[in-house]
């Protein structure tokens, strides 16, 4: 039989309705489903010539079923009528093999979002920016980097990409909601060389709306600046010194925090923040919020992967751990309430993840922060993943600039910085005033009093 | 019988109503302009996983993905279009999109398909792991939980998963070559959480390969994995802070081969060298390691996680010598970069899925055994670190700096392994770390089949291997100064 004659379901709402019907027919006592359709185009240029044009279209459906307190998840890109029926039957058969779990269930019906707000996540410019324009923007950004300095001698290229997605969620509670989103991004990776040694760095801009992007010239110039300042990098001696994290580096600390306050890490005992709810875990000046409702922000969505409305959650206020980030299952396990943070890949069981996570800026300028350090490190990049989330032990490869008597004096590489995340959060001496909404996890510059730098 | 094209071809043709003639026309469309090369990559992949926590197999999932990628190459340019709707209509549209990068005026291009025999048959399994009933996998997970908790009463939680997949691949190239592959993959992972007096630690182990499900039961492998994870968790309860600074490091055999993967493997991938952005650019024929070091990338080892009968462009995999007695011999190539560098593809053109463009990637990368006894290597070190297990690693191929993070390590004091120390990240410089290797053991081991390599957003399964090695001077990123 050929695909051409196999009846398929095309509309996302119809796909969700059809598979929920099949699940019930197959014996599921409850179910929810998510269908996602995406289109994307990305162009890559390198050294002034087009290197790559790629185009993609994908459509998938994911189904979670409950048979009593047993559950399973299935997903497929085969949306033919017979495949959907088989998929639902597979899900029910799988669920019957898993162990009953008293906490397994859909979210409570009263937690499901009512009216779905328009968070302005979709910009129809995604349909109207032609390939040639994308190429021109990438070329302009790369040219700005290549032309910035004679030491920029090569390039790993520039890329412009645009993606749009349509998402429908539905469940046996009778709810179905949908939204559309778009995302544009432009990045440049220049390579600089001097005296036989090479360095690369990058810079990027991204947004839901085309008009949120920084200009290609600005992106290229910043990429060049970041790359050039790494030339001539060397090791420093092993020491314990103050460490300043630039905003991009500081955001990685928030990323670790997000992992540590995720509901599943808490109930599994794999987080160093287990048992710390309501307790001071950081300096009193530290405030961290997760907010999925910010219009046109990269991490925003009207409802989470279980149909629960997103919201603003205070994670840390005045240094005190105020809330975990929770999906409905982790919440039930912990005797708490979902925070609308269920993230869900089409084929995955929902699990908590941040939406837009931000650290509230302070009042110190990055210049004043650097000026406050006699001898220390200004970190601009990490390499590797040396973080133990159970203990908070932290040891990561790093690169950056050395601070001598309040000034950035030379680039540093092939070193690690080490400490413990809890100690680091408690040792934040200054919080920068330089918060910029560049991505979904953002932080201003941070100064940590003392960490171990391992080098020569 | 080498790589069998019949099953994948029959599957895709029957399921999606395709014919050889129709695909020849699609490829003709793709290559109609001034294209140098073009290919179609069809994929149908089924993945099944089950996982356990808190003594319950709470989760089971199955995912089916399918799609086709159409690629057109012209000079250094790549046009790529992919869709998960496999139909002639979508294929024709994708071919037209992909060929945009090629200049007009090539005239029409006729393609005649011919089955290309692959060179290998590395993972024919009587019963693919995907066909083993889920109940058997659930039973295994329950056994893992019991085994781990029996190991030590301080084991407070066990997280375990068993995953398997089957990937059907059909590749058709503009030169007419048609190649198919059926790729099984099995993986089991165990994490034990140990708790004692308010201190919590974890240990992780696992393994797998292109093997049947029963491989986990043979020779009690799964029990070995569980005991390893539990042992490491308990050991880490007593670990003290790792030292900080540059010191002699001895790496144990097997998975510490991740050193080679990060320090040199990525830097030897053809794309980075063609673009002249790798720290190894133009270094073929030069000394990049001590004469004790011979490093190969071998995609032809039967049943290994990193092995393939053919790569994702239809080129048979090979055993490629990267470094021979310290001298850099070759790069890892896909078709595009090999052609631009006027050399032969090495069977390393890999992609995560139909939705991704192939790139030069590693398969199983390891160092050949040397002559030293491992205990002599330890005995030769007065003060240093002995690292036997690792988490992940990463490299900046342009500066050459790489890191990898230890999950089990000990101090060496006076030629003896003494106290366990907490995981520390090791950082070094790829082009010179292997020149500091002063002893190589006779105990080459490959890892248990756990590696996944990420590059440019694409993940592929890989293997690594290493004999015990002494490195004279690597920076250890602990906290104890």
The confidence band for B5, taking pLDDT boundaries of 50, 70 and 90, is: confident
Nearest to B202 among A90, A235, A390 (CB): A390
Model pLDDT for residues B18-50, shown as the tens digit of each residue:
999 999 999 998 888 788 999 999 999 999 999
Taking the CA of residue B230 and the nearest CA in chain A, the distance in Å comes to 15
pLDDT over 60 at B108, yes or no: no
pLDDT over 50 at A322, yes or no: yes
Nearest to B404 among A50, A52, A384 (CB): A384
Model pLDDT for residues B421-461, shown as the tens digit of each residue:
997 899 999 999 999 999 999 999 999 999 999 999 999 99
In this complex, is the C-beta atom of B72 within 8 Å of any C-beta atom belonging to chain A? no
Least confident of A205-214, B97-106, B165-174, B324-333: B97-106
In this complex, is the C-beta atom of A163 within 8 Å of any C-beta atom belonging to chain B? no
Cα torsion for B32, B33, B37, B41, to the nearest 10°?
-60
Q: What mean pLDDT is predicted for residues A343-368?
A: 97
In this complex, is the C-beta atom of A4 within 8 Å of any C-beta atom belonging to chain B? yes
d(CA B464, CA B253): 10
Q: What is the SS3 assignment for A77?
A: coil
CB-based contact A55 B94, cutoff 8 Å: yes
DSSP-assigned letter for residue B452? E
Nearest to B58 among A98, A131, A197 (CB): A98
pLDDT over 70 at A129, yes or no: yes
In this complex, is the C-beta atom of A191 within 8 Å of any C-beta atom belonging to chain B? yes
- At residue A421's C-alpha, the angle toward residues A265 and A435, to 5°, is 100
pLDDT of residue B35: 87
d(CA B456, CA B452): 13
CB-based contact B395 A2, cutoff 8 Å: no
In this complex, is the C-beta atom of B59 within 8 Å of any C-beta atom belonging to chain A? yes
In this complex, is the C-beta atom of A102 within 8 Å of any C-beta atom belonging to chain B? no
Chain A: residue whose CA lies nearest to B99: A53
Least confident of A4-13, A125-134, A256-265, A361-370: A4-13
Counting residues of chain B whose pLDDT is more than 90, the rounded percentage is 88
Taking the CA of residue A263 and the nearest CA in chain B, the distance in Å comes to 14
pLDDT over 50 at B185, yes or no: yes
Taking the CA of residue A249 and the nearest CA in chain B, the distance in Å comes to 16
In this complex, is the C-beta atom of B127 within 8 Å of any C-beta atom belonging to chain A? no
Nearest to A55 among B47, B84, B97 (CB): B97
Nearest to A372 by CA among A452, A282, A451, A449: A449
Is B290 in contact with B348 (CB distance < 8 Å)?
Answer: no
Nearest to B254 by CA among B425, B410, B464, B403: B464
Which residues of chain B does A78 touch, with a Cβ-Cβ cutoff of 8 Å?
A: 64, 66
Nearest to A433 by CA among A371, A363, A380: A363
Chain A: residue whose CA lies nearest to B236: A391
Name the packing angle between helices A81-97 and B134-151 (round to 10°): 30
DSSP-assigned letter for residue A111? G
ipTM computed for the complex: 0.93
pLDDT of residue B2: 42
Nearest to A418 among B66, B94, B477 (CB): B477
Chain B: residue whose CA lies nearest to A105: B58
pLDDT over 60 at B407, yes or no: yes
d(CA A291, CA A437): 13
Nearest to B449 by CA among B124, B219, B231, B206: B206
CB–CB contacts below 8 A, A to B: 275
Counting residues of chain B whose pLDDT is more than 70, the rounded percentage is 98
Q: What mean pLDDT is predicted for residues A389-414?
A: 97
- Cα Rg, chain A, nearest whole Å: 24
Taking the CA of residue B299 and the nearest CA in chain A, the distance in Å comes to 26
Is A186 in contact with A159 (CB distance < 8 Å)?
Answer: yes
Nearest to B62 among A57, A90, A383 (CB): A90
Q: Which residues numbered 284-343 in A keep a CB inside 8 Å of some CB on B?
A: none
d(CA B385, CA B478): 11
H helix intervals, B206-312: 221-237, 258-260, 270-274
In this complex, is the C-beta atom of B63 within 8 Å of any C-beta atom belonging to chain A? yes
- At residue B350's C-alpha, the angle toward residues B348 and B354, to 5°, is 160
Name A381's bridge partners.
A399
d(CA B468, CA B466): 6
CB-based contact A385 B392, cutoff 8 Å: yes
């Amino acid at each position: 039989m050929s695909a051409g004659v196999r009846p398929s379901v095309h509309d996302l709402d119809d796909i969700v309705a059809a598979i929920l019907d099949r699940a019930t027919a197959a014996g599921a006592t409850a179910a929810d489903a998510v269908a996602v359709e995406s289109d994307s185009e990305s162009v890559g240029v390198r050294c002034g010539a087009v290197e790559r044009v790629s185009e993609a279209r994908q459509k998938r459906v994911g189904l979670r079923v409950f048979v009593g307190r047993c559950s399973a998840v299935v997903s497929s890109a085969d949306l033919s009528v017979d495949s959907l029926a088989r998929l639902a039957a597979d899900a029910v058969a799988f669920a019957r093999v898993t162990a009953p779990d008293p906490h397994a269930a859909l979210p409570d019906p009263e937690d499901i979002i009512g009216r779905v707000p328009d968070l302005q996540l979709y910009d129809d410019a995604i349909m109207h920016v032609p390939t040639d324009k994308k190429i021109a923007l990438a070329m302009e950004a790369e040219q700005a980097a290549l032309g910035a300095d004679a030491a920029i001698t090569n390039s790993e290229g520039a890329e412009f990409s645009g993606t749009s997605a349509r998402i429908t969620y539905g469940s046996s509670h009778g709810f179905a909601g949908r939204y559309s989103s778009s995302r544009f991004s432009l990045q440049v990776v220049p390579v600089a060389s001097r005296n036989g040694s090479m360095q690369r760095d990058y810079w990027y801009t991204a947004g839901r709306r085309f008009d949120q992007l920084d200009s290609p010239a600005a992106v290229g110039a910043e990429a060049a600046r970041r790359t050039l300042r790494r030339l001539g990098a060397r090791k420093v001696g092993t020491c314990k010194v103050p460490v300043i994290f630039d905003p991009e580096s500081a955001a990685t600390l928030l990323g670790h925090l997000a992992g540590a306050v995720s509901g599943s890490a808490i109930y599994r005992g794999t987080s160093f923040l287990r048992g710390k709810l309501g307790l001071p875990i950081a300096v009193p000046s530290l405030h961290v919020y997760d907010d999925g409702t910010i219009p046109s922000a990269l991490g925003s969505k009207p409802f989470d992967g279980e149909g629960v409305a997103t919201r603003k959650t205070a994670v840390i206020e005045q240094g005190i751990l105020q809330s975990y980030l929770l999906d409905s299952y982790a919440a039930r396990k912990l005797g708490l309430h979902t925070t609308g943070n269920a993230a869900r890949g089409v084929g995955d069981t929902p699990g908590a993840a941040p939406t837009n996570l931000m650290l509230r800026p302070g009042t110190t300028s990055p210049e004043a922060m650097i000026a406050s350090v006699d001898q220390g490190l200004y970190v601009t990049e990490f390499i590797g993943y040396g973080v133990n989330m159970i203990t908070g032990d932290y040891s990561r490869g790093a690169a950056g600039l050395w601070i001598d008597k309040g000034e950035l004096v030379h680039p540093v590489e092939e070193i690690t910085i080490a400490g413990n995340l809890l100690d680091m959060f408690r040792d934040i001496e200054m919080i920068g005033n330089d918060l910029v909404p560049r991505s979904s996890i953002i932080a201003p510059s941070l100064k940590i009093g003392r960490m171990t730098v391992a080098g020569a | 019988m080498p790589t069998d094209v019949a099953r994948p071809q029959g599957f895709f043709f029957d399921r999606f109503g395709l014919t050889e003639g129709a695909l020849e026309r699609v490829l003709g469309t793709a290559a109609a302009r001034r294209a140098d090369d073009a290919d179609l990559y069809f994929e149908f992949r089924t993945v099944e996983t089950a996982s356990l926590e808190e003594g319950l197999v709470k989760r089971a999932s199955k995912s089916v993905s399918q799609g086709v990628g159409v690629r057109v190459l012209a000079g250094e340019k790549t046009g790529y279009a992919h869709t998960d709707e496999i139909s002639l209509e979508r294929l024709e549209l994708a071919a037209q999109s992909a060929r945009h990068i090629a200049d007009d005026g090539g005239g029409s291009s006729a393609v005649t398909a011919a089955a290309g025999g692959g060179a290998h048959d590395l993972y024919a399994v009587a019963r693919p792991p995907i066909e083993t009933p889920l109940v058997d996998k659930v039973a295994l997970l329950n056994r893992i939980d019991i085994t781990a908790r029996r190991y030590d009463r301080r084991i407070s939680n066990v997280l375990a998963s068993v995953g398997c997949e089957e990937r059907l691949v059909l590749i058709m190239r503009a030169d007419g070559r048609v190649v198919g592959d059926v790729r099984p993959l099995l993986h089991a992972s165990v994490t034990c959480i140990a708790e004692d007096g308010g201190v919590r630690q974890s240990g992780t182990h696992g393994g797998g390969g292109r093997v049947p499900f029963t491989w986990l039961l043979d020779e009690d492998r799964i029990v070995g994995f569980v005991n390893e994870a539990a042992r490491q968790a308990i050991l880490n309860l007593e670990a003290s802070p790792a030292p900080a600074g540059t010191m002699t490091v001895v790496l144990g055999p097997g998975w510490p081969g991740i050193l080679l993967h990060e320090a040199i493997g990525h830097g030897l991938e053809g794309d980075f060298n063609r673009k002249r952005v790798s720290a190894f650019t133009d270094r073929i024929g030069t000394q990049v390691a001590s004469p004790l070091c011979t490093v190969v990338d071998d995609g032809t080892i039967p049943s290994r996680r990193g092995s393939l009968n053919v790569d994702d462009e239809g080129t048979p995999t090979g055993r490629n010598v990267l470094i021979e007695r310290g001298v850099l011999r070759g790069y890892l190539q896909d078709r595009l970069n090999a052609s631009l560098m006027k050399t032969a593809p090495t069977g390393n053109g890999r992609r995560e899925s139909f939705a991704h463009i192939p790139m030069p990637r590693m398969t199983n990368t390891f160092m050949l055994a040397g002559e030293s006894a491992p205990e002599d290597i330890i005995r030769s070190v007065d003060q240093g670190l002995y690292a036997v297990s690792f988490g992940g690693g990463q490299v900046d191929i342009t500066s050459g700096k790489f890191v990898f993070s230890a999950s089990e390590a000990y101090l060496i004091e006076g030629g003896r392994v003494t106290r366990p120390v907490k995981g520390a990240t090791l950082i070094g410089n790829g082009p010179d770390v292997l020149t500091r290797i002063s002893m190589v053991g006779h105990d080459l081991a490959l890892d248990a089949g756990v590696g996944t390599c990420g590059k440019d957003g694409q993940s592929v399964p890989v293997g690594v291997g290493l004999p015990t090695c002494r490195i004279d001077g690597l920076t250890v990123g602990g906290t104890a100064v």
